[in-house]
């Protein structure tokens, strides 16, 4: 489904992603694990195309030069330099780190904003889909998003990505700052999303609650791949357990 080959991302002379290759197959949950500044967010931005917008903005203001190299294939189409909006139409959606939402708009309005690229008549079915994955959002639909808790905002952020009806959902640090109970709730939601036929690529630093749900995973450090394997191989690897499970 998704295949990234030999990705390299430079911020001026700093190498953020170094010859990284990963893949995601249909209906898999795949993890990208790594410490802070490992390159996880840069990888998610590169796959989603957000790096293209960041690059353009930097060029306009005379900021740092960003260079992206390698190959990115999605369902047989090379799209490393495609616009983010095109990737969304093709089925790639990103829920960014720290759940950015529109705080002055209601939960329902936030979800509707996410459908602006869609012209089909089945938007209402997307609402029912999201409310089925995250039942609390139905009860909160008239509340301003800025008055929601951190966990509720995280549900909303993921829900906004799901409103595009993606084939591949990218989650960047979805468990960050959440209570253990909310982490468990979100992980169960990720399993339900996979059962709906959506592949999930999730980047996380502290992976203890996530590891049992992974089909496969990649560990990256300083933008480079340091280990890859099945979910069981990740759980059994003592270095992975020490670094990302805390045992």
Task: Check which CATH number belongs to the domain holding 65 and give it.
Answer: 3.40.50.300
Q: Cα separation of 199 and 2, whole Å?
A: 10
pLDDT at 115: 83
- Specify which residues 10 forms β-bridges with: 15, 67
Domain of residue 219, residue span = 2-245
The closest alpha carbon to 72, from 28, 29, 22, belongs to 22
pLDDT at 151: 92
Number of domains in the chain: 1
Q: What is the pTM assigned to this prediction? A: 0.92
Q: Average pLDDT for consecutive 10-residue bins of the chain (247 residues)?
A: 95 91 95 90 96 91 90 95 93 88 93 77 86 95 93 94 95 91 94 95 88 93 91 84 63
Strands 77-78 and 92-95, by their bridges, are unpaired
pLDDT at 148: 93
DSSP-based three-state secondary structure for 21: strand
pLDDT at 116: 74
**DSSP structural state of residue 107:** H
Q: Taking the C-alpha atoms of 206, 209, 213 and 217 in order, what is their torsion angle to the nearest 10 degrees?
A: 10
What is the maximal distance between C-alpha atoms in the chain? 51
DSSP-based three-state secondary structure for 145: helix
């Amino acid at each position: 489904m998704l295949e990234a080959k030999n990705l390299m991302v430079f911020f001026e002379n700093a190498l953020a992603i170094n010859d990284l290759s990963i893949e995601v197959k249909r209906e898999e949950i795949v993890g990208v694990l790594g410490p802070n500044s490992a390159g996880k967010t840069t990888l998610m931005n590169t796959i989603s195309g957000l790096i293209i917008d960041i690059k353009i903005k930097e060029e306009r203001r005379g900021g740092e030069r960003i260079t992206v190299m390698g190959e990115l294939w999605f369902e047989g189409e090379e799209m490393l330099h495609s616009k983010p909006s095109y990737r969304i139409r093709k089925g790639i959606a990103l829920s960014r780190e720290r759940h950015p939402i529109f705080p002055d708009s209601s939960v329902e309005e936030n979800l509707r904003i996410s459908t602006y690229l869609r012209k089909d008549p089945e938007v209402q079915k997307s609402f029912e889909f999201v409310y089925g994955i995250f039942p609390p959002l139905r009860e909160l639909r008239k509340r301003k998003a800025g008055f929601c808790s951190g966990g509720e905002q995280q549900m909303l952020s993921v829900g906004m990505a799901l409103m595009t009806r993606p084939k591949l959902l990218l989650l960047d640090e979805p468990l960050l700052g959440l209570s253990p109970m909310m982490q468990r709730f979100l992980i169960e939601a990720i399993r339900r999303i996979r059962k709906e036929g959506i592949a999930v690529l999730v980047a996380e630093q502290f992976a203890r609650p996530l590891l049992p749900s992974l089909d496969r995973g990649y560990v990256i450090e300083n933008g480079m791949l340091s280990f890859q394997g099945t979910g069981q191989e990740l759980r059994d690897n003592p270095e992975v357990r020490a670094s990302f499970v805390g045992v």
